[in-house]
Amino acid sequence: MQRDLPKFFKVLAAPSFRTQLSLPPIISEKLNMVVKEGRIGVKLISRRGMWEVDIHKSKNGSGFSFTCNGWEGFVDEHDLQLGDFLVFEHMGNLIFKVTLFDPTCCEKGFPRKLKVCNGMKHEKLDDQKRDNNKNRRLRQSSGRRDPTKKHQFSSTMKRYNILDNTPYLYLPSAFCKANGLVPQKAKVTLKGPSGEEHQGSLMVYDRQQDGCIHTRAWSGFVASNNLKVGDTCIFKLRDTAGSGSDVIEFDVDVQPAAS
């Protein structure tokens, strides 16, 4: 299919968007001409990467929807919320460029650089690589292995870590690997100097790549601890063995930036 589908947008106005999102009637009509079976795979490309998502035809054949096979992952990775709206532009061959806006009518902020991970593109910033190298040098300069060190890492705050809209934090790949954080989506709890605990989601893409804390946990932590660019956070993994908890918990020390 060439670029014969008009650009369209969808407002996320009902909670059901997390599992499916219906397409406008005119888009469904055009798709119905080329989709002979009840399902077809498409690709969604955003500033955050590329996702393969299924489009399903409704039982009565009157419309199409993005559905759970791939769509839920797209929703989670972009922290989509009620009131967000998405603009879809068909680039040809059932590949859609997606631009995402939040309820303030501003485009949602994400990292600027793309990195390929297991055939999936994820965005990455060179600043985080420098943090990883810094952590590696600190481990190498210690002269001997401290078993407690594998349970902690440090990160110096950059602008993208404390964005007002969608701040996020990467966990070093060496830390994920050393602590058995396998590819998964898990719950995470952060407790800093303010004494408040913040819970949200942690994504680990691959043990050779970094993990990522985003959404409410990190946003709330940034606000309650008044983090600024240049502050250094030291994340210490709590020992929850035997507790039966499936939440990954961190105590976090904050060293303010030199004034």
CATH of the domain at 20: 2.40.330.10
Residues 14 and 89 in one domain: yes
Q: Answer yes or no: is 23 within a domain.
A: yes
Is there a domain that residue 27 lies in? yes
Same-domain status, 165 and 78:
no
Residue type present at position 143: G
Confidence of residue 207 (pLDDT cuts 50, 70, 90): very low
End-to-end CA distance of the chain: 58
Which of 36-40, 156-160, 187-191, 227-231 comes out lowest in average pLDDT?
Answer: 36-40
Same domain, 163 and 251: yes
**Domain residue limits at 181:** 152-255
pTM to 2 decimal places:
0.47
**Residue 125 located in a structural domain:** no
Which of 68, 101, 134 delimits the end of a domain?
101
Question: What span, in angstroms and rounded, lies between the C-alpha atoms of 25 and 29?
Answer: 6
pLDDT digits (tens, 9 = 90+) for 45-80: 888 888 889 898 887 777 899 987 789 889 888 888
Do 163 and 69 sit in the same domain of this protein? no
Mean residue pLDDT across the chain:
77
Would 106 be classed as within a structural domain?
no
**b vs e for 181-201, b when ≥16 Cβ sit within 10 Å of the residue's Cβ?**
beeeeeebbbbbeeeebbebb
Q: Does 156 lie in the same domain as 79?
A: no
Residue 97 and residue 38 share a domain: yes
Domain-embedded: residue 47: yes
Q: What is the mean pLDDT of the segment spanning 193-212? A: 73
Among 70, 101, 132, the domain-final residue is 101
What is the total count of domains within the chain? 2
Mean pLDDT check: name the lowest of 12-26, 127-141, 146-160. Answer: 127-141
Same domain for 162 and 85, yes or no, is: no
* Residue 246 and residue 156 share a domain: yes
Greater model confidence, 216 or 245: 216
Which range among 13-22, 112-121, 230-239 shows the weakest confidence by mean pLDDT?
112-121
User: 3 pLDDT exceeds 70?
Assistant: no
My answer on whether 161 and 77 are in the same domain is no
> Is the confidence at residue 92, as pLDDT, over 90?
no
Length of the chain: 259
Residue 99 has pLDDT above 50, yes or no: yes
Question: Is 136 a domain residue?
Answer: no
For residues 41 and 88, the model is more confident at 88
In a domain, 142, yes or no: no
Residue where a domain terminates, one of 101, 118, 143: 101
User: Do the domain assignments include residue 140?
Assistant: no
Residues 165 and 247 in one domain: yes
8 A C-beta contact, residue 64 and residue 22: yes
Q: What percent of the chain has pLDDT over 70?
A: 71
Shared domain check, 159 and 94: no
